Amino acid sequence: MQAPSSHASPPDQGRRQPWGRWSLIGIPYLWLVVFFMLPCLIVFKISMSELADSGIGFLDMVSLQDGVWQLRLKFSNYTFLLTDSLYLLTYLSSIGYALLTTCICLLLGYPFAYFLARSSASLRPLLMMLVMLPFWTSFLLRIYAWAGLLDNNGLINQLLMSFGLVTEPVLMMHTPFSLEIGMVYVYLPFMVLPLYANLVKMDLRLLEAAADLGAKPWTIFRRVTIPLSTNGILAGSMLVFIPCVGEYVIPALLGGADTLNIGRVLWDEFFNNNDWAMASSVAIVMMLLILGPMTWFNRIQANEHTKASP
Amino acid sequence: MKPSLWGKRLSITWMLAIYFFLYLPIATLVAYSFNDSKMVTLWGGFTWRWYAELWNDRDIMEAFKLSLQIALISATLSVVLGTLAALALVRYPLFQGRALFSSMVNAPLVMPDVIVGLSLLLMLVAIQKTFGVPERGMMTIIMGHSLLGMAYATVVVRSRLLEMDKSLEEAALDLGAKPLRVFRRITLPIIAQALLSAWLLTFTISLDDVVITAFLSGPGSNTLPIVIFSRAKLGLNPMVNVVATLTVVVVGGALLLSSLWMARQERQRARDMALAWKLETT
Amino acid sequence: MTPTSPASSFLRVEQLSKHFDEVKAVDEVSLDIQQGEIFALLGGSGCGKSTLLRMLAGFESPTSGQIHLAGQSIGDMPPFERPINMMFQSYALFPHMTVAQNIAFGLECDQLPPSDIDARVQEMLTLVQLKPYAKRKPHQLSGGQQQRVALARSLAKRPRLLLLDEPLGALDKKLREQTQIELVNILKKVGVTCVMVTHDQEEAMAMADRIAIMRDGKILQLGAPMDIYETPSSRYVADFIGNVNLFAGKVVVDEADHVIIETPQCRHYVSHGITGTENMEVSVAVRPEKICLSPAEPTEQERELPAEVGHNQVKGRIVGLAYFGSFTTYHVQIDDRTTLKATLANAARHEDRRLSVGDDVWAWWDGSDVVVLTH
């Protein structure tokens, strides 16, 4: 009969010094409630609010008029979102781009992370540093770099023309192609890092045991390495997919009229149309879409941490 | 398990390809910053003139100053909040509302920036209507960046805390140190490096942020990314290349120095432990 | 059990319990520990010994029960207020501080004047013979040296009670034997009262003045090492400490000065009375080193008492042996289900009549060497 290890918890101070514990937990908790939870609730409220007659501000949701309580909920934003084909298409398109980006990042990033993890220990810090350098460099600037590369007068077109492969510049900017390249470029490190962290901690003895039992290298990879790295794959995929859905900057700089992104829609509704209620509704629906993956991500994180602490 | 020759060739090729993919855009950024031509991508000769013009570009210099200030403050705030959150999560495995706390801490890591920005702005407006403050500007941007930064800082500090030998804190308590002294003299020095990494990470994130800043900034509070973004939307611009090159140089230099320093620490440590082992076995 | 008068007990634990949800890690344990004594809590993993130690240190608060140290109730005190110090299993040396700073840490918490702190640190360094290493950091020391620093640090404040959590667990065997003696010498020299926790019975037996065997949160038996070894109070204890051969059977003759017990393997003549009755179900415990082996049946001259002839002996075949250099353990198969373990010292270098696998032998022992166990 094993008593649960008490090494993870601090000495039992709760009774004697409750204030220390409460402030430690309380301060960040309060910050999160005020700056995270409250904003989410407000977005939800505004998405259902009616514009005041004056056009400025919103009518109160709950008010007392002529001695009768009035509840004003405006669902028209939502009904519009869910029935308008353009919005639906935009949501689907955003999810589509996110899925595509995740898959490409996984295909490119997994082998890279694998080779990185298996490289010689003395070389690894240097290799890691070379991966981190782009990551630490401003992502805005790096997207701008692709704008330069894919431009009609950009390097790629210049090379293509000088080698005689094309006679006219290939239109690459403001296309789904440029958008996708930008997404993959920015999010690749987000896939590589969790994968690498997982692969580098893998117990190589398991692989040796498999080889000892007669398995060929590809089989070992397929049936031992990949399953063991599932957590890394999931974490990396979530870190790519979820933010990709609502990405704004990359579509704004590299996307075009025919690339539909919900992030851009939200921005336009807010900054160009000044329709805060609509923007909020768009945000809420976006949240619902990513709620599933986010919960999944949370669970993965929780699992990793319970494994780490005894 | 030694990889086969083909395996080695494949790994080298693949890694080189990916590195090429990662660095090509950066290389072009740097190259074009010396391009003596207003048409950024058409080579017109080598020149330093864009660098000289940078000093006269008031918009960029002002924006840079502001970004720096915001980044310094929000990085510090993020690390403080993140450390508190990490300590709470690691040292108290059970408390009321822990699941909610944990998901709130993790959420900004993955949530799209537009949602974070929008929600923060709406909340700030609501507070503004009731209390009259705060005005959209530097303060509000700092709040937004700190929320995002806190998520990252918590991850970094938390993983370091989990690695730390728990009995170290218990030993300190046992020897007569009260909890605050334990934190100050034992925990803090041991996680110091993680705190520094977290600070640098959140500093970079703040310096680089576009979307949240756009939602939370007011008139006159243009940060560097906002200025760059507006210019980039209009088309290619050599100033942006100059800023990019300077960024790459600074970041690259810092990373190189820190890598070298850490490698030296490791070598020293390995030497010490070998010496100790030799002493024990003779 | 050595009788102790409650008035003289230095550390008194009264009905101490610790529950984790449904699990009773420590179940109403009571102890009286004398000043200056080295006391060991011995048991397998999960028996509650570590939890009990942590309650003494103050890292767990008891669900119920009291702890008194020198008459003062300390159960509610946080660890930094207790005059108790602990030596951790992992040593828990502060990696960013030197040896001297580690030792000085506790003294600094008491805000002693720096000159006093320095003097005391020097004193401790001399005690554990680590003076030249004062400026080193823990990772620059060997395992044995780290252990000595941990000891010095835990003794620096002259604690009234010292707690040791598996003190020698991290050391290899050779070092362990040597350190056992050194450690006891230092502890006795300093004169501090000690409670140590270990799963290694040899360690407990070698170092402690008294041992408490724990299982499932309770104390099964408490006493001096020899008492526990030679007079175990239950089958579990008999089997836990050292090796033992157990025979299960019934009492057929119950007299004041001797008892005869019938078991399937043989008849046992026990040359002392037991508290029990005829027809009672009992176990007879015989330690392997008490057994003699010879090719021929033992004669009357070889027995301790004439009445033992025909008793306390079995015939069997050696089915295995393990040579340990200074002694050999023989496995003697008696019947289909019973294999006896007998340990004989290899007293002479060459023995013509050395036993080997396959030999038929007689195993026999004295009636005064057995323990009768009722549960």
CB contact under 8 A, C96 and B190: yes
* List of chain A residues whose C-beta atoms are within 8 Å of the C-beta of residue B232: 140, 143-144, 147, 253
Asked if the structure places residue B29 within a domain, the reply is no
C-alpha torsion angle, residues B206, B212, B215, B218 (rounded to 10)? -10
How far, in Å, are A105, A144, B111 from residue A255 at the CA level?
19, 12, 21
Q: How far apart are CA A304 and CA A231, in angstroms?
A: 8
Residues B206 and B245 in one domain: no
Residues B149 and B79 in one domain: yes
Nearest CA distance, B248 vs chain A (angstrom) = 6
Residue B269 is predicted with a pLDDT of 84
Tokens of C259: 């008892």
Q: How far apart are CA C11 and CA C34, in angstroms?
A: 7
Find the CB nearest B168 among C94, C141, C144: C94
Q: Which domain holds residue B261?
A: 240-282
Closest CA to C184 of C169, C200, C170, C164: C164
* List of chain C residues whose C-beta atoms are within 8 Å of the C-beta of residue B172: 94, 105
Asked if the structure places residue A27 within a domain, the reply is no
Strand-strand pairing, C193-198 and C38-42: parallel
- Assign B8 a pLDDT band (cuts: 50, 70, 90): confident
Asked if the structure places residue B48 within a domain, the reply is no
Q: State the Cα angle at B110 between A237 and A180, rounded to 5°.
A: 55
Residue C214's contacts (CB-CB under 8 Å, 6 or more residues apart) are C29, C41, C42, C43, C47, C48, C49, C52, C220
Structural contact between residues A261 and A220, judged by C-beta atoms closer than 8 angstroms: no
Strand-strand pairing, C72-73 and C327-333: unpaired
Q: How many domains does chain A have?
A: 1
Structural contact between residues C27 and C17, judged by C-beta atoms closer than 8 angstroms: yes
Can you state the percent helix, strand and coil of chain A, rounding each to 5? 70, 5, 25
Mean pLDDT for back-to-back runs of 10 residues, chain C (375 residues): 56 92 91 94 91 94 92 90 94 95 94 94 94 92 92 94 91 84 92 94 92 94 93 90 90 87 89 83 91 87 81 90 90 89 83 80 89 87
Task: For an interface test with A, give the residue of C49, C55, C61 to mutate (most A CBs within 10 A).
Answer: C61
CB contact under 8 A, A1 and C76: no
Residues B161 and B266 in one domain: no
Residues B134 and B263 in one domain: no
> Over the stretch B78-118, which tens digit does the pLDDT of each residue have?
999 999 999 988 888 777 788 888 888 888 888 888 999 99
How far, in Å, are B209, C224, C356 from residue C373 at the CA level?
77, 19, 32
How far, in Å, are A26, B240, C279, C281 from residue C273 at the CA level?
68, 101, 15, 15
Find the CB nearest C20 among A3, A15, A16: A3
* List of chain A residues whose C-beta atoms are within 8 Å of the C-beta of residue B75: none
Strand-strand pairing, C210-215 and C38-42: parallel
Return the residue of B nearest to A42 by Cα: B123
The subunits that touch chain C, with at least 3 C-beta pairs less than 8 Å apart, are A, B
Residues B129 and B200 in one domain: yes
Is 0.90 exceeded by the ipTM?
no
Residues B260 and B127 in one domain: no
Find the CB nearest C46 among A1, A6, A15: A1
Q: How far apart are CA C179 and CA C142, in angstroms?
A: 14
How far, in Å, are B96, C117, C123, C128, C175 from residue C136 at the CA level?
44, 18, 17, 15, 22
Residue A53 is predicted with a pLDDT of 52
CB contact under 8 A, A37 and B106: no
Nearest CA distance, C36 vs chain B (angstrom) = 20
Per CATH, is C6-237 categorized as 3.40.50.1820?
no
What's the number of CA atoms in the CB half-sphere (13 Å) around residue B210? 22
Instruction: Kindly state the DSSP code that residue C197 receives in the 8-state scheme.
Output: E
Asked if the structure places residue A299 within a domain, the reply is yes
Domain boundaries, chain C: 6-237, 243-373
- Positions of chain A with pLDDT under 50: 1-16, 54, 309-310
Find the CB nearest B28 among A155, A208, A294: A155
Asked if the structure places residue A219 within a domain, the reply is yes
Return the residue of A nearest to B90 by Cα: A8
| pLDDT of residue B71 exceeding 50 | yes
Return the residue of C nearest to A17 by Cα: C78
Residues B193 and B254 in one domain: no
Site of tokens 């942020």: B209
Closest CA to A240 of A300, A188, A286: A188
Instruction: Kindly state the DSSP code that residue A50 receives in the 8-state scheme.
Output: P
CB contact under 8 A, B25 and A142: yes
* List of chain A residues whose C-beta atoms are within 8 Å of the C-beta of residue C61: 12, 15
Asked if the structure places residue A47 within a domain, the reply is no
Q: Which domain holds residue A273?
A: 86-308
Q: How many domains does chain B have?
A: 2
Residue A9 is predicted with a pLDDT of 45
- Assign B185 a pLDDT band (cuts: 50, 70, 90): very high
Asked if the structure places residue A301 within a domain, the reply is yes
Task: For an interface test with B, give the residue of C55, C96, C176 to mutate (most B CBs within 10 A).
Answer: C96
Residues B194 and B277 in one domain: no
Residue A89's contacts (CB-CB under 8 Å, 6 or more residues apart) are A260
> Where would I find the H helices in chain C?
49-57, 99-109, 114-127, 143-155, 173-190, 201-207, 225-230, 235-240
> What's the CATH code of the domain at A285?
1.10.3720.10
> What's the CATH code of the domain at B88?
1.10.3720.10
Find the CB nearest A132 among B32, B110, B255: B255
Residue C29 is predicted with a pLDDT of 93
Asked if the structure places residue B183 within a domain, the reply is yes
* List of chain A residues whose C-beta atoms are within 8 Å of the C-beta of residue C18: 3
CB contact under 8 A, A147 and B143: no
Instruction: Kindly state the DSSP code that residue B135 receives in the 8-state scheme.
Output: P
Return the residue of C nearest to B187 by Cα: C94
Cis peptide before B134 (omega within 30 of 0): yes
pTM of the model: 0.85
Structural contact between residues C160 and C69, judged by C-beta atoms closer than 8 angstroms: yes
Sign, CA torsion C276/C278/C281/C286: positive
Residues B229 and B245 in one domain: no
Return the residue of C nearest to A1 by Cα: C46
Phi then psi for C128, rounded to 5 degrees? -100, 10
Sign, CA torsion C321/C322/C323/C329: negative
Q: End-to-end alpha-carbon separation of chain A, Å?
A: 17
Say if A16 is an interface residue toward chain C (CB within 8 Å). yes
The DSSP code sequence of B153-201 is: HHHHHHHHHHHS-THHHHHHHHTT--HHHHIIIIIHHHHHHHHHHHHHH
Tokens of A78: 């939502």
Residues B89 and B229 in one domain: yes
Q: Which CATH class is domain C243-373?
A: mainly beta
Q: How far apart are CA A26 and CA C227, in angstroms?
A: 55
How far, in Å, are A50, A183, B117, C177 from residue C327 at the CA level?
93, 73, 78, 18
Q: How far apart are CA A218 and CA B194, in angstroms?
A: 38
Note every long-range contact of C300-308, with CB atoms under 8 Å and residues 24 or more positions apart, other chains counting: C302/C364, C303/C364, C303/C366, C304/C271, C304/C366, C304/C367, C304/C368, C305/C269, C305/C271, C305/C367, C307/C258, C307/C269, C308/C269, C308/C271, C308/C366, C308/C367
Q: How far apart are CA C262 and CA C250, in angstroms?
A: 5
How would you class A85 by CB atoms within 10 Å of its CB: exposed for 0-12, middle for 13-18, buried for 19 or more?
exposed
CB contact under 8 A, B107 and A9: no
